[in-house]
Structure 1
């Protein structure tokens, strides 16, 4: 018998799948479930599971050890479930470890038409390292859209920290952005990797870097003392959607030139 997939049913299904995922290893992105497990979770028949699965992109049927399994991608599940469980976004993100949290931030960027990468590492070869006494940096997530580049520090803190701590963490992210600007060759390689094809790069200049902090908890603050945006994951979608209207309220680092194959653009 055919199942009518209504918004109400989808919401119930998402909550049931969420409860199932809470029992699984948070370090795993893909969760393999036997059909019987998903049947109990969704409270339907084998045929009903197949029909429901066809409505979702985060569940795939795969075969392993001569058996059929349903594989749930937790990142895609959360990105989809937010439409039905918006008030539970913080709880949804808690089924991830810190790597998964970064991947969730990346996935949300991709859904807002950003080019995105995670775990970008670089060495500061400029004089700036003498001032900071730091020569190596890592940026959790970077997103590029048009001429706007977001450098994101993803913090999956499960508690509310004092503003002084968040303020200091945000200033460190600003330091990473300055260090990246001080190394034009590294920045150029990054932009070339993110922006394809190369002929579009001229149109993106000048590029505006905005260092950001995305947190699991809502600190209640939206900017630090240095105008670095502080964004709870529950509001990250709306932040991206409204950013063009409020970009002048945040700290911006302008990049006017990039080098490609020893030619200056």
Structure 2
């Protein structure tokens, strides 16, 4: 099956360019993929036709960014966790954003905003009316309790500030036209875990489980924390209704 060798080649290219280089020898790529040079050349010519690489003598040169290659690998069926393990923290955030995009969320990456004179950063924001996912991406393991408690507490407060000031953030406000309410869900996405957990009602989702979490989100809604926010575009104001809490939820009729 031709498909599998191409996945191995894309994985080998991501492994070989992790240090920042954009090219590697055919010999090195053959060793990384376990493919003989003749078969390797055959599949590289296909990838060259796709605009991903260029063959120059005995070298393979990336024609796209590592992120573009990672996205192509994900679209071709390569495991999300294997791809994410080969990315730095910024690339990891972008793969998280790509997962949201593939699940019909509008995405904002690396959102920086101020609320009540304090500066905040959110790695990824995903919008699909009436839901907003406020995502913090973590490379580290969640098995250290104190570290996890601190991360969850900080992210809940970050999400609260986003809820208060969302109409004052142009990148976000421009996407909320026609919304009169929303449910904002703080979520942590981790790189190195196998199982999703819900900690103090906040979902901690391994990147390998993110697609299934997004596809099955309705099933989690009654047990995860959210901010219910009323939006007044005329006054350019928002109002958090009550305290964040797990909530019963019905999807709006299409």
- TM-score class, shorter-chain normalisation, is 0.7 to 0.9
1:252 alignment counterpart: 226
C-alpha distance in 2 between matches for 1:19 and 1:51: 16
Question: Using the alignment, how far apart are the partners of 1:48 and 1:94 within structure 2?
Answer: 24
Which stretch shifts more, 239-248 or 34-43? 34-43
Q: SS of the counterpart of 2:122?
A: strand
Distance 1:183 1:137 in 2: 11
Which secondary structure does the structure 2 equivalent of 1:218 belong to?
A: coil
Confirm or deny that 1:109 pairs with 2:104. Answer: no
- 13, 22, 29: which one pairs with 2:6? 13
Which whole-Å CA distance do the structure 1 matches of 2:218 and 2:196 have between them?
20
1:235 counterpart = 2:209: yes
* Structure 1: gaps of 5 or more residues: 1-5, 130-134, 196-200
Query: What does residue 24 of structure 1 align with?
Result: 17
Distance 1:173 1:105, change over 3 A: same
Residue number in structure 2 paired with 1:98: 89
Spell out, residue by residue over 1:114-151, the C-alpha distance to the aligned partner (whole angstroms, 9 max, x if none): 111111111122xxx7xxxxx21111111111211111
Partner of 2:44: 49
- 1:11-31, CA deviations, whole angstroms, 9 ceiling, x for partnerless residues? 3331233133212235x5xx7
SS at match of 1:119: strand
Deviation at 1:256, TM superposition (A): 1.0
| CA 37–76 in structure 1, closer or farther in 2 if over 3 Å, else same | farther
Cα 1:221/1:146, change in 2 over 3 Å: closer
1:193 maps to 2:185:
no
The structure-2 alpha-carbon separation of the partners of 1:149 and 1:85, relative to structure 1 and needing over 3 Å to count, comes to same
Count of aligned positions = 230
Cα distance in structure 2, aligned partners of 1:263 and 1:181: 13
Deviations along 1:15-49, one digit per CA (max 9) or x if unpaired, are 233133212235x5xx7447957984664365543
CA RMSD of aligned residues (A): 3.3
2:135 aligned with 1:152, yes or no?
Answer: yes
User: Where does residue 182 of structure 1 map in the other structure?
Assistant: 164
Q: Determine helix, strand or coil for the equivalent of 1:217.
A: coil
What TM-score results when the alignment is normalised by the length of structure 1?
0.72
